[in-house]
Amino acid sequence: MAIRRRDFLKSSAIAAASLVLPRFARGTETASIYDIERFGNARILHLTDTHAQLNPVYFREPSVNIGIGEMTGRPPHLVGHAFLEHFGIRPDSADAYAFTSVEFEKSAGRFGKLGGFAHLKTLIDRLRSDVGDKHAMLVDGGDLWQGTGLANIMQGRDMVEVANLLGIEAMTGHWEFTYGEQVLRENLEHFKGEFLAQNVFLTEEAAFNDAPAFDKATGRVFKPSTIREIGGHRVAIIGQAFPYVPIAHPKRFTPDWTFGIREEELQKHVDALRGADKVDAVILLSHNGIDVDLKLASRVTGIDVILGGHTHDAVPQPIAVKNAGGTTLVTNAGSNGKFLGVLDLALDKGKVSDVKYHLLPVYSELLKPDPAMAELIGKLRAPHVTDWVDKIATPDRLLYRRDNFAGPIDELICTALRSELDAEIALSPGFRWGITALSGQPLTMEDVLAETAITYPETYVQEMTGTEIKDVLEDICDNLFNPDPYYQQGGDMVRAGGLSYTCSPTNAIGSRISELKLTNGKALSASRHYKVAGWASVNGQQGAPVWDVVGKYLRSGRMFRERLGTGVSLKGVDGNPGIAG
């Protein structure tokens, strides 16, 4: 299968001048970047990890996304200029702003926010009608129902309504599971599309107790795949939910279900679709994360394309992976509604003969919001949002989250936790969702919720020894840097406040973290007990929700008088193109 190189000429033309940096002008000439040449006979539109961001957002891509071992310097572990060079994107262009952190603040003013479901609706409808509805399908890779205060309070129901109007036909899940089985099932009853997951099974106990399942014989809780007629051919879409739900989140949400990558079951299912069902193409709609998908693609045969998510990597071109049966293409389509993946397939009897892929940035200033979707979003937000829109602070710096080790948003959360809960050290999870807030722009409670809205937001304070703290850091660091992707859960390093340390990503677990020090410069003692505050614990906690703690702290006005620092020094990764120079 040939991958055609994306034509960036059209979008670079937008920012042709270098002395005067032009803003986007609403007009037909710029919107032409969405004119995609007709190709093949089936178009699959792929959204993933929108994290319920109904309205357009700023979202800064990472400047640190280190790959080690085989992943060193390979997409998606390229950032900044290394990323631009690899994919042939002009530094001044709109695409450079969308795909990287290069000159983010300067470009944010020029190119504006991305995403938004009313804008997505306009773009999706256009790309569907360009090829005709019988030739197109819209799929979502999960993390659709979580990420905002609204989604949290409505337990994802807002996003089900939005998904129905958008026309999502199949999806899989990750954070969807954190609402628990009952809410998940209720939401799915209202969802007009299909929820697919080949890798979620009843536990033996649940099966013995006759718990509900899609297929009692295999114990599969959900339908594993769907076969659709697209462009006169049979296309199978298999769902792959996030494999580590009961590990990354409290087990109480999914007590009856067991997950995992389930390579063997997947292979059997692909073989059955190819054999008995005689499909022409097999697509894996995956929430594995791209490093896991790349390994899986090298081992499981018979999958044409993996449409991937979870790790929030905006990868402009698919990565071709060879395996015993041929080649599998692996994509990852970014996050927060910033991007729409467009997979055009040339299908023949029993095979995909050619593929063309675009990862389109959803520039909200170039797309007219769809009126029906805008109305639905307004209606959904109206009852809840009035409490959240007042300014509670004005940041004096760019607030973002994504980077392997630290980001100003999490420094803020850690500082709030330490201050409000009177702790020496704070730990905050390395989530990859959460929007970016510009310096000098009002920050609202809605913005705070967009960084914190989960179903287990309770804060805690506990005593931990220096050894226990180091062990936690080592454990989570291995989730990022285990050389075998199957041992990675995705997400970034836990954020530490009041604590600095050195990390050697290329070392083995147990020897990556060293030189732990408190803010006052004192070395962390192995045996001393420290007061540690945190949130998002997988164990039940009783403290106030983290958004209230952060909100209270911000309202006090203390935050921006303090100097923030990341506190993590890196060793052994000099020159790694996953670190912006």
Partner 1 sequence: MTTHTGPHPTRRLILQGAASVALIGLGNLPFAPARAAANDKYPEEAFKLKNEADAIKALYGKTAEPSDKIKLDAPEIAENGGVVPISVTTTLDKVTSISFFVAENPNALAASYKIPDGTIPAVANRLKMAKTSSVTAIVEADGKLYSATKEVKVTVGGCGG
Chain residues binding partner 1 by CB under 8 A are: 174, 205, 242, 244, 246-249, 251, 258-261, 289, 310-312, 427-433, 460, 462, 464, 468, 471-472, 475-476, 478-479, 482, 484, 486-487, 489-492, 494, 509, 534-539, 541
- Buried b or exposed e, range 69-95, using 16+ CB within 10 angstroms: eebeeebbbbbbbbbbeebebbbbbbb
Residue 187 identity (one-letter amino acid):
N
For residue 237, the SS3 value is strand
Measured from the CB atom, the residue of 143 and 304 that comes closer to partner 1 is 143
C-beta of residue 513 within 8 angstroms of C-beta of residue 442: no
- Please give the distance of CA 184 from its chain centroid, rounded to a whole number: 20
Measured from the CB atom, the residue of 51 and 228 that comes closer to partner 1 is 51
Q: How far is the CB of 407 from partner 1 (least distance, A)?
A: 14
Give the whole-angstrom CA distance, residue 528 versus residue 548.
30
Measured from the CB atom, the residue of 105 and 458 that comes closer to partner 1 is 458
Q: How far is the CB of 179 from partner 1 (least distance, A)?
A: 15
Measured from the CB atom, the residue of 344 and 411 that comes closer to partner 1 is 411
Measured from the CB atom, the residue of 125 and 271 that comes closer to partner 1 is 271
Give the whole-angstrom CA distance, residue 192 versus residue 57.
27
Reading across the β-sheet that carries 499-503, which strands appear in turn?
Answer: 513-518, 499-503, 568-570
Measured from the CB atom, the residue of 320 and 509 that comes closer to partner 1 is 509
C-beta of residue 426 within 8 angstroms of C-beta of residue 472: no
- Please give the distance of CA 382 from its chain centroid, rounded to a whole number: 27
Q: How far is the CB of 279 from partner 1 (least distance, A)?
A: 28
Q: Which of 326, 272, 262 is nearest to 296 (CA)?
A: 262
Cα dihedral across residues 490, 491, 496, 500: positive or negative: positive
Give the number of other CB atoms < 10 A from CB of residue 109.
10
C-beta of residue 288 within 8 angstroms of C-beta of residue 241: no
Measured from the CB atom, the residue of 163 and 413 that comes closer to partner 1 is 413
Measured from the CB atom, the residue of 381 and 401 that comes closer to partner 1 is 401
Give the whole-angstrom CA distance, residue 187 versus residue 126.
28
Helix axes 290-299, 263-274, angle to 10 degrees: 60
Q: How far is the CB of 218 from partner 1 (least distance, A)?
A: 16
Radius of gyration of the chain (CA): 23
Q: How far is the CB of 430 from partner 1 (least distance, A)?
A: 6
Measured from the CB atom, the residue of 111 and 433 that comes closer to partner 1 is 433
Measured from the CB atom, the residue of 43 and 262 that comes closer to partner 1 is 262
Q: How far is the CB of 4 from partner 1 (least distance, A)?
A: 30
- Please give the distance of CA 248 from its chain centroid, rounded to a whole number: 14
Cα dihedral across residues 524, 526, 531, 535: positive or negative: positive
Q: How far is the CB of 515 from partner 1 (least distance, A)?
A: 21
Q: What is the dihedral of CA 8, 14, 17, 23, to 10 degrees?
A: -140
C-beta of residue 59 within 8 angstroms of C-beta of residue 335: yes
Measured from the CB atom, the residue of 41 and 258 that comes closer to partner 1 is 258
Q: Which of 271, 207, 184, 192 is nearest to 236 (CA)?
A: 271
Q: How far is the CB of 579 from partner 1 (least distance, A)?
A: 19
Helix axes 546-555, 408-421, angle to 10 degrees: 90
Measured from the CB atom, the residue of 185 and 487 that comes closer to partner 1 is 487
Measured from the CB atom, the residue of 41 and 63 that comes closer to partner 1 is 63
Q: How far is the CB of 467 from partner 1 (least distance, A)?
A: 11
Q: How far is the CB of 536 from partner 1 (least distance, A)?
A: 6
Q: What is the dihedral of CA 372, 376, 377, 381, to 10 degrees?
A: 150
Structure tokens given for 135: 């030739």
Measured from the CB atom, the residue of 208 and 561 that comes closer to partner 1 is 208
Cα dihedral across residues 69, 70, 72, 75: positive or negative: negative
Q: How far is the CB of 221 from partner 1 (least distance, A)?
A: 14
Residue 279 identity (one-letter amino acid):
V
Q: How far is the CB of 412 from partner 1 (least distance, A)?
A: 17
The Cβ-side half-sphere exposure at 192, using a 13 Å CA radius, reads 10
Q: How far is the CB of 431 from partner 1 (least distance, A)?
A: 6
Q: How far is the CB of 107 from partner 1 (least distance, A)?
A: 25
Give the whole-angstrom CA distance, residue 229 versus residue 132.
13
- Strand 529-535 versus strand 425-430 pairing type: parallel
Q: Provide the strand spans (E) within 217-276.
A: 225-230, 233-240, 257-258
